Amino acid sequence: METIFETVRTIALRIDTLIKEGDLGYSNHANATGDTQLKLDVASDRIIEEELRKLESIHTLISEEKDDPMPIHAGGEYTLCYDPLDGSSIVDVNLSVGSIFGIYRGEPRGENIVATAYTIYGPRIEMVTALRGETPHRTRYVGGTWQPLPDLSLNPQGKLVAPGGTQQYWSPEHKAYIDSLFGAGYRLRYSGGMAPDLHQILVKGGGLFAYPGTTDKPEGKLRQLFEVIPYALVFEAAGGQAINNRGERLLDLIPRHPHDTTPCFFGSTTEIDGLKSAYGVAP
Ligand code: P6P
Of 149, 171, 191, the position where a domain reaches its end is 149
192 lines ligand 1 (CB under 6 A): yes
Q: What is the pTM of this model?
A: 0.96
Tens digits of residue pLDDT in 16-43: 999 998 777 777 777 777 777 778 999 9
Residues 140, 184: one domain? no
Residues of the chain with pLDDT under 50: none
Same domain assignment for residues 143 and 164: no
Confidence (pLDDT) at 31: 76
- Rounded to the nearest angstrom, the distance between the alpha carbon of 194 and the centre of ligand 1 is 6
Same domain, yes or no: 218 and 249: yes
pLDDT over 70 percentage in the chain? 100
Task: Please tell me the total count of domains within the chain.
Answer: 2
We report the CATH number of the domain holding residue 236 as: 3.40.190.80
In a domain, 270, yes or no: yes
Residues 17 and 125 in one domain: yes
Question: Structural domain of residue 168, as residue ranges?
Answer: 160-279
Provide Rg for the chain, Cα atoms: 18
Contact 194 CB / ligand 1 (< 6 Å): yes
Q: Which residue, of 99, 118, 149, is where some domain finishes?
A: 149
Protein residue with its CA nearest to atom 9 in ligand 1: 194
Claim to verify: residue 90 and residue 178 sit in the same structural domain: no
Q: Are residues 204 and 82 in the same domain?
A: no
Domain boundary, last residue among 149, 182, 197: 149
pLDDT at position 30 is 76
Nearest Cα residue to atom 2 of ligand 1: 87
Question: pLDDT for 59-73, tens place per residue?
Answer: 999 999 999 999 999
Task: Based on the fold, state whether residues 145 and 166 are members of the same structural domain.
Answer: no
> Under 8 Å CB-to-CB from 250, ≥6 apart: which residues?
110, 224, 228, 229, 232, 242, 243, 244, 262, 264
Has residue 154 been placed in a domain? no
Residue 155 lies in a domain: no
226 to 8, 46, 53, 65, 118: CA distances (angstroms): 15, 16, 18, 10, 11
- pLDDT on residue 151: 98
